[in-house]
Amino acid sequence: MRVLAGQFRELTQADLAFARQIGCAGVMVNKPDLDSPAWVAFLNKEFTAAAGPRPPTKRWSALDLAQMRAAVEAHGLTLDCIEGVPRNLIDKAMLGLPGADEQIDHFKATIRAMGQAGIPILGYNWIPDGVWRTAKAAHGRGGALITAYDDDVGQRVATGSLPPRDEAAMWANWERFITEVLPVAEAAGVKLSLHPDDPPVPVLDGVARIFRDEAAFARAMSFADSPSHGVCFCTGTFAEAGADAMMAALRRFARDGRIHYVHLRSVAGALPRFAEAFIDEGSVDPVAVLRVLRDEGFDGSIIDDHVPHVAEDTVWGHRSRAYATGYIAGIIRALGAETGGTTP
Ligand SMILES: [Mn+2]
């Protein structure tokens, strides 16, 4: 098992140095918008400015991805995973809107580019309106800022911004998508890793949330039954529906070898109301989680996930992530598993 730093929307040289300094073996990048000024600067793409505005990125190029990987590896880190494309590059496919086929074609090209660049995992989810919280600045331990969700509120505050979709439609859209892209992933040597819907409620904002429990993941793993398709096992999201159910799903998919990597975070409470929590409190027992993974021979990567915002921290959360990452690495070491990040 290796501990990585993750959830980088953009990368900086300082962040990469920081990840290495706290002992991480590698990093994951999360839904990067490669048109943003930060990415243009990081990838040294200014030289294209003279040629005029670039068309908006609809697929990632192998060259951009290879340069991203080289920049990460220059710090002694690996680039293990990109956790999905920006939502506006995949939303029509999720909802079955006109333009879905074009987005799927771009997604296939992105998978091929990932393979050419040697980045092994592409995460994805099937949540067209993203992660929902009904409070984003609740107070956790010591006044740390945490997010929280109350389904009584969540069911009342529909935005009306998305077309209604029921379970059958969302399953049909997903089956069409995975049927198209999985053979491309297999040929490219890229693993597609599915993250659960957060919060895992049946419907929100008029759109069904289909990937919310063990049964749904079992159906998905059976339908797309390939080593190139697996689970981004998010302990926090699964535990939002109950910690016992989370542990049962963990044991099943770890035993089946379907877990590609893990988001390790905790929550306090469970639906209909929960709040995010520090790694050392709440309903998720990180020692029990890591023991299951060790016993089932899991040899993938672990990252922290949404961390509470502590005093004087940055937006990305350097202080809080250093705490969570060190906590996880300590447990792994105590369990006698490898971390891969401790060698100089
Ligand atoms: Mn997660």
Ligand 1 centroid vs 147 CA: distance in angstroms? 13
Q: Is the residue at 344 inside a domain?
A: no
CA of 237 to the centre of ligand 1 (A): 6
**How many A from CA of 234 to the centre of ligand 1?**
4
What's the gap in Å between 95 CA and the centre of ligand 1?
22
Full residue range of the structural domain in which residue 40 is found: 2-334
User: What spacing in Å lies between the alpha carbon of 305 and ligand 1's midpoint?
Assistant: 6
The tens place of each residue's pLDDT in the chain, 344 residues long, gives 999 999 999 999 999 999 999 999 999 999 999 988 899 889 887 655 566 666 778 999 999 999 999 999 999 999 999 999 999 999 999 999 999 999 999 999 999 999 999 999 999 999 998 899 999 999 999 999 999 999 999 999 988 889 999 999 999 999 999 999 999 999 999 999 999 999 999 999 999 999 999 999 999 999 999 999 999 999 999 999 999 999 999 999 999 999 999 999 999 999 999 999 999 999 999 999 999 999 999 999 999 999 999 999 999 999 999 999 999 999 999 998 766 554 43
What is the 194 CA–ligand 1 centroid distance (Å)?
Answer: 10
Residue 340: inside a domain:
no
Q: What is the pLDDT at residue 185? A: 98
Q: Give 54 Cα–ligand 1 centroid separation in angstroms.
A: 32
Cα 46 to ligand 1 centroid, rounded to whole Å: 33
β pairing state of 121-124 and 203-204:
unpaired
Q: Tell me the CATH number at 296.
A: 3.20.20.150
Cβ–Cβ < 8 Å for 141, 281? yes
Residue 342 lies in a domain: no
In a domain, 339, yes or no: no
3-state secondary structure the chain: CEEEEEEECCCCHHHHHHHHHCCCCEEEECCCCCCCHHHHHHCCCHHHHHHCCCCCCCCCCHHHHHHHHHHHHCCCCEEEEECCCCHHHCHHHHHCCCCHHHHHHHHHHHHHHHHHHCCCEEEECCCCCCCCCCEEEEECHHHCEEEEEEHHHHCCCCCCCCCCECHHHHHHHHHHHHHHHHHHHHHHCCEEEECCCCCCCCEECCEECCCCCHHHHHHHHHHCCCCCEEEEEEHHHHHCCCHHHHHHHHHHHHHCCCEEEEECCEEEEECCEEEEECCCCCCCCHHHHHHHHHHCCCCCEEECCCCCECCCCCCCCHHHHHHHHHHHHHHHHHCCCCCCCCCC
CA 93 to centroid of ligand 1, rounded, Å: 21
- Centre of ligand 1 to C-alpha 198, Å, is 8
CA of 12 to the centre of ligand 1 (A): 22
Cα 236 to ligand 1 centroid, rounded to whole Å: 6
* Interstrand relation of 145-150 and 266-270 (parallel, antiparallel or unpaired): unpaired
Q: How far is the CA of 56 from the centre of ligand 1 (A)?
A: 27
Cβ(291)–Cβ(298) below 8 Å: no
Is 16:72 a contact under the CB 8 Å cutoff?
yes
264 CA to centre of ligand 1 in angstroms: 8
Q: Given this model, what pLDDT does residue 47 score?
A: 56
The predicted pLDDT at position 252 comes to: 98
Rounded distance from Cα 125 to ligand 1 centre (Å): 10
Its pTM stands at 0.95
- Return the pLDDT at 344: 35
C-alpha of residue 131 to centroid of ligand 1, in Å: 9
Separation of alpha carbons 305 and 189, rounded Å: 26
Ligand 1 center–CA 263 separation, angstroms? 5
Could you tell me the distance, in angstroms and rounded to a whole number, from the CA of residue 150 to the centre of ligand 1?
18
Judge whether 55 lies within some domain.
yes
- The contacts of residue 82 (CB under 8 Å, 6+ apart) are 28, 29, 30, 32, 65, 114, 119, 121, 122, 123
Task: Please indicate, yes or no, if residue 210 is contained in any of the structural domains.
Answer: yes
Ligand 1 centroid vs 6 CA: distance in angstroms? 11
Tell me the CA–centroid distance for residue 303 and ligand 1, in Å. Answer: 9
| 47 CA → ligand 1 middle, Å | 36
- Count up the domains in the chain and report the number: 1
Cα(68) to centroid(ligand 1), Å: 23
Distance between Cα 55 and ligand 1 center (Å): 31
Domain assignment present for residue 51? The answer is yes
